[in-house]
Structure 1
Amino acid sequence: MSNSRERNDRGQFVETITPAAVVDVLRRAETPVVTAKEVGEELGYTSEAARQKLLTLLDEGTVARRKVGGGAVVWWLTAESPPVSTAFDPDDPLFANPPTFASGVSDVSHNVDEYVADAVANNHDP
């Protein structure tokens, strides 16, 4: 993670951890509760950044929390958490920066199905 945060064209900081990403981490967790540290590690950010986003989600009623001793706090999704979104995110890097499949010799994007079929059949270009 970079020390300098990205800003938009109005000079405001760009959101780095989205609420959807945090909710996704909680949904995929192997345990019923997670810590902010676990969320931060999963997303590649600090536990404090994750905690701040979790607090926002707490205010919205999406997550709940409980102190379990010492300074430990666990978080979980509430019944009010939003359903899994299947909405198209145009800012997703997969769509914003799609691979071109250009090999330098020819653009294989026009015949990807043929290349995949050959690979599955174990046929290789000489």
Structure 2
Amino acid sequence: MPQTGYVLSGLITAAIIFLGARFWAAPGAASVGFGIAGSPPSSTGFAAWLSVKGTRDIASGLFVILLMTNGSPRLLGEFMFVASLIAFADMVTVLRSRGNRALAFGMHGLTGLAIVATGACLVLGAK
């Protein structure tokens, strides 16, 4: 079961680093894809805030890589449980802004559940 957790952790990591890079490379498109209603039009200030978000996404992915290479499956799993709060908070943020409900539940909510399942594989499979 830990092997499954490590594979899922790697996939989640690749996705979050890709999304973080997208907020740097194409902030307007990334903003629309996030699902928040009424996102302001692209401006220098808004693009800068999106770069901040992108940096945090990339760093989150690097934390997972660090734990995958140096930590225990249990520690990685516990980290994943905590990290799932980011996806669930993103879901609530999109819903509170009256954003795209399909993106809120389908992307952010399901991502949160996938992260929880990954954490469970790692914690339950740890010795």
Regarding TM over 0.5, the answer is no
Task: Provide the TM-score with structure 2 as the length reference.
Answer: 0.26
Which protein, 1 or 2, shows the higher relative CO under an 8 Å CA cutoff with sep ≥ 6?
Answer: 2
Q: Higher strand proportion, which one?
A: 1
Larger radius of gyration: 1
Task: Provide the TM-score with structure 1 as the length reference.
Answer: 0.26
